[in-house]
Each structure stands twice: as C-alpha cells, then as structure tokens.
Structure 1
Amino acid sequence: MTTAALSPALPTGGYGFAHALRMEWIKLRSLRSTWWALLVVVAGMVAIGVVTMANTKVPSADKTAGFDPTNNVLAGVALGQLVVGVIGVLLVTGEYASGSMRSTLAAVPRRPLVLAAKATVFGGVTLVLSEAVAFVTFLAGRTALDPAIPQPSLTDGGVLRAVLMSGAYLGLVAVMAVGIGALTRHTASGIGALVGLLFVVPAMLAGTTGTTVAKFFPTMIAGNSLAVSRPMPDMLTPWTGFALLLVYTAVVYAGGLRVLVRRDA
C-alpha cells in the first residue's frame, strides 16, 4: 500500500533532464556559501571597476590611439573568474568528498544528465548574474572617470560587445570549472588545475615568451581580446578568442564527462 501511494509521485521511466535540472537547482540555492561567494563577485567587480576608472588618467598624446577605458572598467573580471571557477569546482568535488555523489547517481543513473544539469544550472546562473554585473560595473565606472576624459558609451564601436563578452566569459568559466571538478574529483587538485590554467601557466609563458603563446590562454583572451573596444596588437581578435574559449570549455567538459561515466563514484 505504501509503495502504491508513493509511486504516482515518481517520474515514470526514470529521471529526465528536467528532473536533474530541478535537483541541481535545489542543491545550488540551498548552499548559502555559494550565494555569498557570488556576492563577492558582484561587489568585487563593481569596486575594482570603479577604483580603476577613478585612477585612470588622461592619456599622453602618443597613447591616445590605444587608450581604452572600457578595458579598464572591466578589470574586475580577473577576480570574478577566480571565485566563479572555485565555486564550480567545489560543486562537483564537494559531492565526491561528502559521498553524496553516490546518492545523486543513484537518483539519476544517466551520468551525462547529471553533469549536463550541473553545468547548465551553474553556468546559467553565472551567465545571467555576470552579464548584469558587467553592465552595472560599466555604468558605475563611467561616473568615476575623470571629467577630462570622454566617457565611453554602449553605442561606441566595440563597447557593447566587450561588456557582453565579459559576462559570457564568466559563464564559460563556470562550465569549465564544473568539467575540471568532474575530471579531477578532488578539491585541491581541481582548484590547482583551475588556477594553473587561468593564472600560473599564462603568467609563466608571458614572462618567458611574451604574448606569443600566452595570448591563447583564457585569462589573456578575456583581458586582451574580449574586454576591449579597440583591438590590441599581437592579440587574438575578440571573436577568434571567444571561439577558442568555446573549444577550451568543450574539451574540459568532455574530459570531465568521460571520467564521470567511466569511473565509479
């Protein structure tokens, strides 16, 4: 009798993607630490953008052509990618550490659905939040700019694209981080891989080879290709950089999916 009473509430034929999405959304919204960390992203990006613009000086005559205040106001993306990336890794490795991944996979045996739901929920939340924060940061930063410097406008060439791509970049980092978490299955190694990919390796390459190789890494793409209204010399174009970021995300996600499917929880 008990089984008969409960069976109508269970999805027929097992859990589908919609059920997996709902489950991951409940997990995400129940973690206060995640929302506090995302609040740090919001506050940090806005604060860094405002402070950077307040300290932006009128360019000298020889630097006027390359002067790009839009790139300055979006400097907080560097902090945002770190926090978002760490959260994304923890969303996966935390379940392995606590053992709750077994319960998740028992409820949704189709493992590709589990990872897709995690990436969709966290990536979607990050994308919406990041786009909103990018616009708020841009508008707030303009007010802090020296009156002697012409304020950039969303209608200026390349400015709207730079703001939109900066928000989209953080959404891609969120999905990439979920893939790294599934690939490493361990918090320390996952965060280490994330920091290495975003900060350590490109910094080392920039110090030894300049931008020749470093320009192909995510952080360099974000700061020097996406978040610019004027193309920078020796850097990837915005759309080429964005396409390469999509490839990075797909490769890391595929690697994480392969490990999740082939290895026991």
Structure 2
Amino acid sequence: MSVTAVLHSEWIKIRSVRASLGSLVAVLAVALAVTLLVYSTIGKAEAENGGDPVFEAFYPVNFTQIAALSFGATAVSSEYAHNALRVSLSAVPHRGLLYAAKTAVLAGAALCVGLVSSFATFLTGQAFLDEYAVGIGEPGALRACVGGGVYLALMTLFAAGLTFLLRSAVAVLSLLIPFILIVSFVIGDIADGVSRYLPDRAGQQVLYQHPAGEVGPWAGLGVTALWAAAALLAGWLAVRRRDV
C-alpha cells in the first residue's frame, strides 16, 4: 500500500472507533465547557486577584490534557482489541510504515484540535473579563495559544507511545492521570528542580506570560517532546519485536 493509502486508512480508524473519536472531540468540548463554566461565574473574581493573566486563561488545559491522553491511548489500544492489529499487518506488512502512519495521523489530528481548543479557550474566556481581559496581541498570548495546541499534541503522542508498549489504554491512563493530577504536584513540593522537567510541568511553561525558572517556554515544550519521543521509541521497539 502507498503511504497515502495507509494514512487514509489510519484516519478512517480514528473516525470509526467511537472511543478514539469521542476522546478527540472531547478535547474541544471540555475546553469550551470548562471555560464557559469558570469564566461566567468566577472569572472576574480570579482576575482581580492578580497572577499571570495569560497562564490563568488556560486553566481548562488541566482538563483538556486528560482528553488528549485518552485520545492517544484509545486510538492505539483499539489495535489490540479483537486481533485488529493482525488485520492491520495483513494489509500493511511493513510495521515501520504502519507505526509511522498511525503516529503521524494521531499527531496531526491532535495538533489541529489542540490549536482550535487553545485559541477557543483563550478568546472565549477573555470575552467574560471586560476590563481585565487581555488581547491576543498581549506579550506571550499568541505564543501560549500556539504552544498550548502543540502541548496537547505532544501529550497525545506520549500516551500513544506508552499504549503501544503496554497494549492497554486502561493501564496507561491509570498511570498517567494520577501522575499528572497528583504525583507531579507532590514531586513539585518535594523537589521543585526535578518537577520542572516532568512532561506536564515543562510543557506548560509555554502557557505563562512570564515563565519562571531555568526552563523557558519553548525549551519546556522541547522537554515534553523528548518524553513523547522516548515513549514512541519504546512503543516502536515493542511493536517491532513482539508477535501479534
């Protein structure tokens, strides 16, 4: 099969599997729902307290990143349900091509939805803040919108690589969700220098107007990219060496 045909087949898989498509749609749906709920109720009160106005605009990322992880995990785990991977390899015997195509489609879909989600989060939230609103031209705002989309795509790939390795979306999400919601903050309280290089803490540096510490906004995304690359490499080694 040609590369174009394999890419198209992988996109069909995402559209036809309700779990993966639902997770992808949830990235945008959750972003808008949380933004509307928070900013229509306590948005102004929080803005009055000060803080980094750009970073606070991306509060929904705490939830959309969970949807992004779910998308990466479920899209890959569907290959291991009902021997679907055996069928995929029958159609595309070249494992490298199949792996690269699935990774590319996941990255493209997550990046597109992530960028839309990121810009929608920022612009919708600011519409409720009146005199406290910051524009897209505010220093760091455009960078945060673009970087937020890239961050969500990288977290999708991070989860996808681990799912190729562990073959289970449940196992991957059981590890990553507590890690991001709990362990990351615990490590931050104990060893702040170490926590700056965790995938979520490093990647979210791009969302700050004035990032603090030694890890800058784009360097932070680079750290997250390294985590994602390591997970994808581990997943590829597992796919290449295992029997179906």
TM-score using structure 2 length: 0.90
- Alpha carbons 2:52, 2:208 under 8 Å: kept: yes
Extract unaligned runs of 5+ from structure 2.
none
Flag the 1:250–1:120 CA change in 2: closer, same or farther, 3 A. Answer: same
- Alpha carbons 1:41, 1:80 under 8 Å: kept: yes
Q: Which moved more, 1:119-128 or 1:181-190?
A: 181-190
User: Residue 140 of structure 1 aligns with which residue?
Assistant: 124
- Alpha carbons 1:53, 1:73 under 8 Å: kept: no
User: Residue 29 of structure 1 aligns with which residue?
Assistant: 15
Give the drift of 1:238. 0.2
Name the aligned partner's letter for residue 228 of structure 1. Y
Larger CA Rg, structure 1 vs 2:
1
Map Cα deviations across residues 50-82 of structure 1 (whole Å, 9 max, x no partner).
44444243546xx5xxx3222112111121111
Give the drift of 1:133. 1.6
Map Cα deviations across residues 115-134 of structure 1 (whole Å, 9 max, x no partner).
11111112111111110121
Name the aligned partner's letter for residue 187 of structure 1. A
> Secondary structure of 2:81's partner?
helix
Give the drift of 1:25. 1.0
User: Residue 144 of structure 2 aligns with which residue?
Assistant: 162
1:221 aligns with 2:207: no
User: Residue 178 of structure 1 aligns with which residue?
Assistant: 160
Extract unaligned runs of 5+ from structure 1.
1-14
Name the aligned partner's letter for residue 144 of structure 2. A
User: Residue 239 of structure 1 aligns with which residue?
Assistant: 218
- Alpha carbons 1:199, 1:219 under 8 Å: kept: no
1:122 to 101, 106, 112: 106
TM-score using structure 1 length: 0.83
The sequence identity of aligned pairs, in percent, is 27
Q: Which moved more, 1:50-59 or 1:243-252?
A: 50-59
- Alpha carbons 1:45, 1:74 under 8 Å: kept: no
Map Cα deviations across residues 145-192 of structure 1 (whole Å, 9 max, x no partner).
1x342x211112111001100011111112222211111112332223
Following the alignment from structure 1 to structure 2, what is the Cα–Cα distance between the partners of residues 170 and 129?
9
Following the alignment from structure 1 to structure 2, what is the Cα–Cα distance between the partners of residues 99 and 197?
30
User: Residue 191 of structure 1 aligns with which residue?
Assistant: 173
